[in-house]
Structure 1
Amino acid sequence: MARFVRRDEPEIMEVNEDHVMRANSVEGRQQAPQKHEGKLYRLVLVSFGLLCVTQAALNISLRLILYNSDVQKLELLKMERDQIKTSNNRLTEAKDQLQTSYNRLTEERDQLQTSNNILRESLCTQTQTYPHCWIEFNSNWYYVSNEMKTWEESRQDCLRRGAHLVIINSKEEQKFLVGLNKRVWIGLTDREEEGTWTWVDGSPLTTAYWGRTQPDDGDGFTKVGTEDCAELNNHYSDPLNKWNDLSCNGKNSWICEKVV
């Protein structure tokens, strides 16, 4: 049996192989850009993701920093508030201690003053020449009381001391008595005859130093009643206008005068 061989088959196969290789080559060249573009896309996505993560981390960090800063500021403010509160409490405590000390000293001063007055009165009762009892002026001696009595009680006290309620005979004596800065009975009255003022030694009033609108005998006020005894009242500013008439039953300090 005869066998026929086709001489052109190898060529055809070669042609087919070349065609396939070229096709694969073209396809490879077409797929290469696609693979490159995919890698680039993935890289972009990864980079974007990293950027997002970085941004989120930065945001969190900033918030933490700001939060910590605010917390520190708040803590500082609390510390300052507590320090101010502590200082205020200390100042209040110191103020209370000072007030307590002041009250104690005031009480002690009053007690000493009371004791001094008691001692002074005791010594004045025992002797009429005790220097703290009597004040000398123009060769006369004056006793200024620390008690308050009615006009008649004051007059009797002066008599027991060998003196009389003060009689004012001159401007100099008036100014001296005003300088003692005390509201006191003086030895002047119109009890015997309304409007006729006489001194306790019976001498008539010749020179007067009445305050403005005085004497007014109570000015008609029923609660006050008649005013028949005279006092030296520092309410008036002019030293030569200091006298005031007052109810003899009122209570005042007084001044005794002893003529030497």
Structure 2
Amino acid sequence: MSVALSSKSGEFGDDSINLMAPAGRSKFGWIPQISGWCIGAAVCLGCLLLILILGVVAHNSSAIGHRDSMCENMIDSLTADRESLRAERDQLKDTSSNLTKEIEALQSQYKAVAASRDKLQEEVNTLNLTRARRECHQGWKAFGDKCYYFSTSGVTKSWALSRKDCLERGADLAIVTTREELDFVSKTYAVTWIGLSDKDREGKWVWVDGTELQGDEFWQDGEPNNSDGDEDCAEVSRSAKRFNDVPCSRRFSWACEL
């Protein structure tokens, strides 16, 4: 309802002024008019924003699902590897245990065989000693598992002729390889030829069987020295009980070995 007031008398009339605010205006000021295309644009923009948010969420969900799947596959693979390693470890333990048992069995067998070997060696040594003593010819002396012939007292010859005498007896000049044998051979005469020389090559001392002299502990101090320039044959003396090089032409007693 509207009320009109006369411009002159203040009375209400038909040509009065409308006190209601005109369209698009309020008592506080102008109200902007929003057109339809602005509303449509806002709706579209909101839809696009919603679609974008949903896409991001979907992408993140897919990525998380893919990552979870990868983690599960990795865990399954590691679990399978662990089980495989456990099985391999158990197999190695079994193999190690079996090998330990085999080693223990072999060690036991080795000890038994070694003991049997040592016993047989003792029996062989005894038999050799018995045989040597039993088979030594008259005039020969038994020592260890060998027989020795010492030249007649007072008879002396050069190294070469002494060896010739031994060879004619089916033997050869003595080959001395142990301290006990050295003591045995050297005690009969003051000086005795033995089967050692460096006639073929100076400084290379060789036994009559072709084997080289091993070590130098049986030489007298300072020997061999080849002081005369032709000391190519070895002798042993009762006093020194060690080897000494002298000229092969000297005449000594000799010891044969069989």
User: So what's the TM-score if we normalise by structure 2?
Assistant: 0.44
Compare CA radii of gyration and give the structure with the larger one. Answer: 2
Higher-RCO chain (CA-CA 8 Å, sequence separation at least 6): 1
- The structure where helix makes up a greater share of residues is 1
User: So what's the TM-score if we normalise by structure 1?
Assistant: 0.44
